Structure 1
């Protein structure tokens, strides 16, 4: 029996995260466009302007304390902290409410993600064994770009079951968590214990706020600002502050108040639909309805929904524009055959599918986990190939592993680009070579 229109309307407002996949797809397209522009710009007659722009120094601060850095620094360390804030919220949402909230649900994507991190890192390590400087890049091929991977999978449409989207999304979330831990523990040069202590204190303040059910998300973001500064001064990459802040924002709704809120919302919808009311009264009813919906949302859900388009349409394309520019004109062909390039390329293109598929197959054979309903191993292989699209996180780790503008940094970018492109082409080709599923269901 269909729900009455007012209830359907209200419930639709209660689920803003349903549009996230569409945002990811368009955001992935913009990311790709920004990358192409960066490559074209870096290899054009205006290549000097490209370098000059991102090297411009910008100072921000108050009297007695000023933070100065290049435009690239403010994008990679400050703006990307908001991306990692979103990642932290996505991780918490999945752990508390989503596909990772029970051991049974989390088992298969977790095992697949571990395989998708261990095997690529091992391949890179084997190829670069003995080269101390190159070994710093071992974490680069571990990452999966969720926007690109899900976007490519969505292009397959009816050829894959809907449950495969959930599997790949959960896998990518765990993959992001692994990448964050790698950044925190393996790409930290030195530690300022005093600053780290201040950061721990601020994190404790957010923990107390969460324990006392403080639900104003703005207060968490307010504490998150000095936390970013403390983490930056500590020597740990400051984007980690974004992850920690995101994981502190409450994720659960006020379930006890929901019936009252729904009843009030239904009344307001009915009021707004009355023909005998003035437009002013109708707008007042709709404003009151917005307030009722806001009450029903979890703080994490509200921030995530608000922030997501700005990250996908703004921060990430800007990051790509600033970091994807690789000067190829006049470059030696040897760059494409260097161990750093090949380690990342084979890590993403070969290591990712072997790790994800291999660990998934092993887990199901041993009875540790089960495949989602309607998903077969051939579907997993297609998703595993698309898991080799590293891009955003891989470029980010590459910037931490190697000095900007260095030969190895250029090689790392080449490896990320070539490995990700090959993974996308191979993954889509494999999926399109399979028969369409009878009922794609759910997420498509």
Structure 2
């Protein structure tokens, strides 16, 4: 029963991320076809179209592309923040023993690709792109694992998910420290005052989605105007969402039984509507349900579909459209560098550090995960699509040629990593892994 409670939601999470990877692929193909068709002008004009508002106090007018990258992606980062908080408090990262395996993988997956990039880069103007190959795209990588089905153990998917979350933490820190503009510290102080208010409310166990949404939007604007990338506001606001339930299970069951009894005793209307007594009990049920659910869990559940099925595919549609015509200026050195970093940097970095840590018994690897599984996942970690493109846009924001070159390298490198990772895992064991029984 306990295994069912833990494993079944994770399998649902994997299925959502896997289907998101399929949508991501479809959106990427559409963007590439659109950008290389006779309708390329409509593609460019759509994402360059300015949308916003202007008031005597505040003006916010940005191209549609930036609303996607700064606005919608802030929601994506908000969801990452919720996942990070949950994993650190009650999930796969809540103890040193649990975090050690994915942590060593993430160290290799972040540090070695960066070292590869710095070593291979010969152009001072492109040196700022070192952060591009350091983050794994969880949607694409889990989609590849899901295609393998029972040939890979569920514990490998848990490892990849935990690894990607640790990886995201590193990418977020890199964005905050190295890819933000000139900082207006006064506006930043105002933002942190509001964050302090949210954290104080969370500490006292108070939660209101209206307060978090309102203050979150203001904090987002303050970060934007302060020169800190506004998506980071999503992470910080997410940490203010309480994880604790206001009532425990026995109390909820007791109230649920009382509500059920009251509904049975209530007057039943002959019309196809509820009586006043029934409506009152339904309101009570809603009240106790809200108190029973963890705010972090509820918001994460409600947002996951929107992020996976809408925000990430829209991001891909807006950012993956690179023209491959002969007239397009491409920096070949960036393309080759990023391909090598994604494919070799991640595979060598992750597998070497994890296998060494395993050999010296610094970490404990689940028994159903073999060395070939680790090597295969290390290649899959080279699928750096979403976060890699995001960081490329920040690193080379003033040079479209470098951005397009980076995107081409990311697309090719991610494809190669996916194919090699799939092949290694597909042929690592000719026998299917027995699915874990759930009692």
Q: Verify same fold: TM over 0.5.
A: yes
Deviation, structure 1 residue 368: 1.4
What does residue 359 of structure 1 align with?
A: 353
What does residue 310 of structure 1 align with?
A: 306
What does residue 34 of structure 1 align with?
A: 27
Deviation, structure 1 residue 138: 0.5
Is this contact kept in 1: 2:76–2:311, CA < 8 A?
yes
Counterpart Cα distance in 1 of 2:244 and 2:421: 36
Out of 75, 78, 89, the position equivalent to 2:68 is: 75
Task: Give the SS at the match of 1:99.
Answer: coil
Deviation, structure 1 residue 286: 6.7
Is this contact kept in 2: 1:30–1:313, CA < 8 A?
yes
Deviation by residue 1:371-398 (Cα, 9 ceiling, x = unmatched): 0242222211121111111000000001
Deviation by residue 1:23-66 (Cα, 9 ceiling, x = unmatched): 21222211111111110010000111111111111122444211
Task: Give the SS at the match of 2:92.
Answer: coil
Deviation, structure 1 residue 149: 0.9
> Counterparts of 1:141-156 in structure 2 under 5 Å?
141-156=133-148
> Counterparts of 1:8-407 in structure 2 under 5 Å?
19-128=12-121, 130-254=122-246, 256-265=247-256, 280=273, 289=285, 291-331=287-327, 335=330, 338-403=332-397, 406-407=400-401
Q: 1:295 to 1:135 in 2, by over 3 A?
A: same
Q: 1:423 to 1:286 in 2, by over 3 A?
A: farther
Is this contact kept in 1: 2:21–2:142, CA < 8 A?
no
Task: Give the SS at the match of 2:22.
Answer: helix
RMSD: 2.7
Deviation, structure 1 residue 18: 6.0
Task: Give the SS at the match of 1:133.
Answer: helix
Counterpart Cα distance in 2 of 1:72 and 1:141: 22
Task: Give the SS at the match of 1:369.
Answer: coil
Task: Give the SS at the match of 1:138.
Answer: helix
Q: 1:271 to 1:392 in 2, by over 3 A?
A: farther
Gap runs ≥5 in structure 2: none
Q: 1:287 to 1:358 in 2, by over 3 A?
A: farther
Is this contact kept in 2: 1:269–1:289, CA < 8 A?
no
Deviation by residue 1:213-243 (Cα, 9 ceiling, x = unmatched): 1122332222211111111111110100001
Q: 1:438 to 1:22 in 2, by over 3 A?
A: closer
TM normalised by structure 1 equals 0.90
Deviation by residue 1:404-443 (Cα, 9 ceiling, x = unmatched): 6621111100110001001111111111112234423279
Is this contact kept in 1: 2:138–2:161, CA < 8 A?
yes
What does residue 441 of structure 1 align with?
A: 436
Deviation, structure 1 residue 331: 4.6
Q: Does 1:413 align with 2:407?
A: yes
Gap runs ≥5 in structure 1: none
Counterpart Cα distance in 2 of 1:98 and 1:258: 19
Greater CA deviation, 135-144 or 405-414? 405-414
Counterpart Cα distance in 1 of 2:260 and 2:351: 49
Counterpart Cα distance in 2 of 1:330 and 1:286: 65
Counterpart Cα distance in 2 of 1:272 and 1:280: 14
Is this contact kept in 2: 1:17–1:305, CA < 8 A?
no
TM normalised by structure 2 equals 0.91
Q: 1:268 to 1:379 in 2, by over 3 A?
A: farther
Counterpart Cα distance in 2 of 1:19 and 1:246: 22
Task: Give the SS at the match of 1:58.
Answer: strand
Deviation, structure 1 residue 16: 6.7
Q: 1:113 to 1:48 in 2, by over 3 A?
A: same
Deviation by residue 1:57-89 (Cα, 9 ceiling, x = unmatched): 112244421111111111111111000000111
Is this contact kept in 2: 1:346–1:419, CA < 8 A?
yes
Deviation, structure 1 residue 365: 1.6
Counterpart Cα distance in 2 of 1:206 and 1:54: 34
